[in-house]
């Protein structure tokens, strides 16, 4: 494996191509996903169980919903070390979410005109937890905890052939509804409901192309947070430790053969050193080798300021850079300051969410948060003295739009104030 080093015109062409990227190419799987969505929507549990038996290892007669006793047993059979780690991670994520939670407020904007904001949780959400190449109990923590902090009363977890660690994490968080189904069929069940799985207001969580395509196709019937594609990681460094950088590149590359891992540096010496360390640290890690061979790149730039400009153009999911450069960052899913902060800490335990925007979506939003699970509802109250303050201007605006009824509803109050 030899990760490529680009500079000059090759670098600029590469960056322009990245700027134009979007979510994963889903066209290839969308026809099959449409059929699955339609089948589950029409035939409910019968279709769901057929797909779950084929792809999710659901046994004949086995319940789709995991009994709560099984969740508790999984927790009891979990090693004390993993129990402690789960508790620590959950505690940090919960505290971060509590700090993140929006507050209600009310203020007088004019004499007699009071405005405010109410915060109300969604009634129900579906949390998708992948169960394919790697079991991801960390994703269960990252999706369920912000929903709990937001106050969502009905939280449904979907995960195909879940690992014991995932079931144990669900038990620790007090999850009551856990379903052993995945793929497009799980998204269909959450979006449209079946006899055994009630529909939800919103679906969150990452998945493979079939899951992502299904979320895209149901998005007008059931809210989603965003479409998540393969992992993306960008590192900016001028004189960093090549071992730290190489290890972080490998850590993100091993998520997916399509992961995008980039180092941007003004130092050719550092580029060569990282390239050498990657050879050493990818041994016995075939997924990372494939990913870095296909999409791993080192970009040589004239200055570190150019590196930040490129990172803002790329809008990566993860971005590591010196803390002094953070004020210049505009577009990133999550930022990791200084080289001693491993991106893996954010994947598991430091507190911020690891469900992050990819495909350039970091230009318009950050990662999953408590805000994804609440409604911010504006409210207002106008007293007689308040309508005198704002009514005349509102009447002028209504008449400018030709909405006479609007103007009259204001005028009658002004004359009676």
Q: What is the pLDDT of residues 343-352, one digit of tens each?
A: 999 999 999 9
Residues 220 and 152 in one domain: yes
* Structure tokens given for 202: 């919103």
410 lies in a domain?
yes
Q: Is 1 within 8 Å of 289 (Cβ atoms)? A: yes
Tell me, yes or no, whether 164 and 253 share the same domain: no
Of 297, 330, 351, the one marking the end of a domain is 351
Strand, coil or helix: 379:
strand
pLDDT tens for the chain, 417 residues long, are: 567 888 899 999 999 999 988 766 788 999 999 999 999 999 999 999 999 999 988 888 889 999 999 999 999 999 999 999 999 999 999 999 999 999 999 999 999 999 999 999 999 999 999 987 778 899 999 999 999 999 999 999 999 989 999 999 999 999 999 999 999 999 999 999 999 999 999 999 999 999 999 999 999 999 999 998 899 999 999 989 999 999 999 999 999 899 999 999 999 999 999 999 998 888 888 999 999 999 999 999 999 999 999 999 999 999 999 999 999 999 999 999 999 999 999 999 999 999 999 999 999 999 999 999 999 999 999 999 999 999 999 999 999 999 999 999 999 999 998
Catalytic annotation present for 108 = no
* Residue 250 backbone phi and psi in degrees, to 5: -65, -40
Q: Phi then psi for 248, rounded to 5 degrees?
A: -70, -40
From the candidates 255, 281, 318, 354, give the one annotated as an active-site residue.
Answer: 318
Which pLDDT does position 25 carry in this prediction? Answer: 77
Helices (H), 255-354: 268-281, 286-295, 304-314, 343-348
* DSSP 3-state percent helix, strand, coil across the chain (nearest 5): 50, 15, 35
Q: How many separate domains does the chain show?
A: 3
pLDDT for residue 22: 73
Domain end: 159, 194, 227, which one? 227
- The upper half-sphere exposure of residue 4, i.e. CA atoms within 13 Å in the direction of its Cβ, equals 12
Measure the CA–CA gap between 172 and 220, rounded to whole angstroms.
33
Residue 36: closest CA among 219, 213, 229, 224? 213
Q: Do 207 and 270 fall within a single domain?
A: no
Listed in sequence order, the residues at least 6 apart from 345 whose beta carbon sits closer than 8 Å to its beta carbon are 336
Q: What is the largest CA-CA distance in the chain?
A: 82
- Please identify which of the residues 30, 254, 317, 339 carries the catalytic annotation: 317
| Domain co-membership, 221 together with 86 | yes
Domain region containing 389: 383-416
CATH code of 15's domain: 3.40.50.1980
- Give yes or no: 277 in active site: no
Is 377 a member of any domain?
A: no
Q: Are residues 218 and 80 in the same domain?
A: yes
End position of a domain, from candidates 310, 331, 351: 351
The residue with tokens 């134009």 is: 20
Query: Which residues lie closer than 8 Å to 19 by C-beta, 6 or more apart?
Result: 313, 314, 360
Q: Within this chain, do residues 244 and 312 fall inside the same structural domain, yes or no?
A: yes
Residue 260: inside a domain, yes or no?
yes
pLDDT, tens digit (0-9, with 9 covering 90-100), for 163-182? 999 999 999 999 999 999 99
Statement to judge: residues 242 and 170 lie in one domain: no
248 shares a domain with 163: no
Q: Is residue 293 part of a domain?
A: yes
**Same domain? 221 vs 233:** no
- Examine the domain organization and report whether 212 and 339 are in the same domain: no
DSSP E strands, 124-251:
124-128, 154-158, 177-179, 202-204, 223-224, 232-236
- Nearest-angstrom CA–CA distance, 205 and 182: 12
In a domain, 375, yes or no: no
The reply to whether 326 and 260 lie within a common domain is yes
CA 304 from centre of chain: 29
135 and 255 housed in the same domain: no
pLDDT in tens, 90-121: 999 999 999 999 999 999 999 999 999 999 99
Sign of CA dihedral 351, 353, 354, 357: negative
The reply to whether 163 falls in a domain is yes
Is residue 376 domain-resident?
no
3-state secondary structure of 365: coil
350-393 per-position pLDDT tens digit = 999 999 999 999 999 999 999 999 999 999 999 999 999 999 99
């Amino acid at each position: 494996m030899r990760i490529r080093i680009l500079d000059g015109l090759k670098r600029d062409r590469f960056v322009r191509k990245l700027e134009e990227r979007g979510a994963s190419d889903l066209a290839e799987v969308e026809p099959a996903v449409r059929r699955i969505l339609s089948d589950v929507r029409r035939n409910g549990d019968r279709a769901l169980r057929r797909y779950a038996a084929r792809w999710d290892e659901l046994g004949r007669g086995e319940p789709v919903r995991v009994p709560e006793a099984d969740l508790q047993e999984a927790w009891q059979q979990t090693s004390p070390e993993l129990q402690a780690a789960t508790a620590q991670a959950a505690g940090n994520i919960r505290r971060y979410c509590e700090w993140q939670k929006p507050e209600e407020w009310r203020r007088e904007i004019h004499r007699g005109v009071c405005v405010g904001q109410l915060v109300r949780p969604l009634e129900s959400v579906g949390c998708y937890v992948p169960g394919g190449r790697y079991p991801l109990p960390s994703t269960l923590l990252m999706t369920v905890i912000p929903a709990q902090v937001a106050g969502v009363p009905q939280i449904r977890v979907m995960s195909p052939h879940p690992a014991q660690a995932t079931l144990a994490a669900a038990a620790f968080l007090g999850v009551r509804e856990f379903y052993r189904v995945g793929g497009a069929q799980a998204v269909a069940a959450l979006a449209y409901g079946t006899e055994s799985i009630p529909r939800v207001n919103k679906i969150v969580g990452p998945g493979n192309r079939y899951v992502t395509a299904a979320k895209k196709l149901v998005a007008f019937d059931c809210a989603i947070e965003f479409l998540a594609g393969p992992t993306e990681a960008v590192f900016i460094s001028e004189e960093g430790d090549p071992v730290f950088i190489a290890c972080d590149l490998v850590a993100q590359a091993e998520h997916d053969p399509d992961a995008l891992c980039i180092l941007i540096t003004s130092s050719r010496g550092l580029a060569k050193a990282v390239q050498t360390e990657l050879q050493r640290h990818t041994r016995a890690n075939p997924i990372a080798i494939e990913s870095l061979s296909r999409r791993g790149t080192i970009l040589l730039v004239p200055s570190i300021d150019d590196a930040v400009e490129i990172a803002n153009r790329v809008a990566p999911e993860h971005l590591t850079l010196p803390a002094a450069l953070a004020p210049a960052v505009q577009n990133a899913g999550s930022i990791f300051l200084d080289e001693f902060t491993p991106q893996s800490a954010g994947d598991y335990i430091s507190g911020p969410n690891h469900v992050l925007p990819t495909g350039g979506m970091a230009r318009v939003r950050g990662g999953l948060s408590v805000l994804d699970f609440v409604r911010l509802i504006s409210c207002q109250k106008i007293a007689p003295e308040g309508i005198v303050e704002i009514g005349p201007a509102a009447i002028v605006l209504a008449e400018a739009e030709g909405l006479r009824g609007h103007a009259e509803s204001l005028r009658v109050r002004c004359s009676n104030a």
